Amino acid sequence: MRFSCYNSWRMSNRLKIFALIAIFVIVSYKFGGNARGVITSVNTNVLTYFFNIKEAFSNKINEHFAQQEEILKLRAENQKIQKSALLSIAFAGKLNELLRENNVSKYAPDVELVRAISYANLDNYDRIWVDFKDFNASKIYGLLHQGNAAGIVVQSDGNPLALLLRDPKCIYSVYIGKDRIPGIAFGNKKEVLVKYIPIWTNPKEGDEVFTSGLDNIFFDGVRVGVIESIAEDGTAKTAVIKPHVKVSTPAYVHVITKN
């Protein structure tokens, strides 16, 4: 019985298909190119509509997965930041406890997030005006980007001007490597240098360069970069360093307001 019904269903579908083919042939024969053009146009419109829906659906799916991936990435970064913040609080607590034991005032550095406004000159990408509300024209401030040294902030016509690492007037004190070899860092428009390294010291390629905090611009230990090459000029050594800050024109930076 079931087999008989299946055969009847197949026969019915075949008759429908043959009927459609017959109608198409008759219409094509009678009306010629006009009928074929109409049928082709309808077919094209249907296919276009179908592919538009398919593309829109695919875009929505891709957008959904991209958002999920971004959320997971931000969540992981947030966990790292929270861990770093907790470790920093713990370290600060131990440090201030030690300072209290030695009758030294509490150590509480502070930073402020500021926004880059525009280049000071269109032909110089290393000088940027910043929106710094608490700016004191008599001070020089250290500039941070993602926790690394990015430059300094000075006054120009009474306004805060950020000098990025490659600027020749971006000058600050640094140490090199685990032996804390002293030097002075500044730019030469093309790269970042550490000069006045004592001739008797032995800095090496790959050594970490970090701020010393002795200039009251940065606090001690902010990463600047890694030594790429070293040269001697008879009385001192000069090192070329590769900065950790990759971006040349950051949209936002942190200014060290208290160190």
User: Which tens digits make up the pLDDT trace of 1-16?
Assistant: 444 554 554 555 555 5
* C-alpha separations of 196 from 175, 185, 239 in Å: 11, 9, 9
Q: Which pLDDT belongs to residue 139?
A: 94
> Which superfamily does 109-259 belong to?
Rod shape-determining protein MreC, domain 2 (2.40.10.350)
H or E element that contains 258: strand 252-258
- Work out the pLDDT band at 236, boundaries 50, 70, 90: very high
Rounded to whole angstroms, the Cα distance separating 30 from 117 reads 73
What whole-number distance in Å separates Cα of residue 145 and Cα of residue 161? 16
In which element (H, E) is residue 74 found?
A: helix 33-101
Question: Is residue 163 predicted with pLDDT exceeding 80?
Answer: yes
Instruction: Say how many C-beta atoms besides its own lie within 10 A of residue 65's C-beta.
Output: 10
Give Cα 172 to chain centroid, integer Å: 25
Mean pLDDT of 109-136: 87
Gap between the Cα atoms of 243 and 259, Å rounded: 22
- Provide the token pair at 12: 């019915």
Q: Which residue has the higher pLDDT, 30 or 66?
A: 66
Buried b (16+ CB within 10 A) or exposed e, 213-226: bebebbbeebbbbe
Least confident window among 75-89, 128-142, 171-185, 198-212: 75-89
Closest CA to 170 of 137, 218, 238: 218
CA 244, 246, 252, 255 dihedral sign is positive
Distances (CA, A) of 115 to 91, 128, 143, 250, 256: 29, 10, 12, 9, 14
More confident residue, 184 or 112: 184
Q: According to the per-residue pLDDT averaged within each range, which of 25-34, 38-47, 99-108, 198-207 is highest?
A: 198-207
Residue written as token pair 């019985």: 1
pTM of the model: 0.63
Question: Mean pLDDT throughout 76-105?
Answer: 68
Distance CA 94, CA 128 (A): 38
What residue segments make up the domains of the chain, in order of their start? 32-107, 109-259
Could you tell me the two tokens for 153? Answer: 């902030």
- Residue 127: is its pLDDT beyond 70? yes
Calculate what percentage of the chain has a pLDDT beyond 70: 66
pLDDT mean across residues, the chain: 79
pLDDT at 80 over 90: no
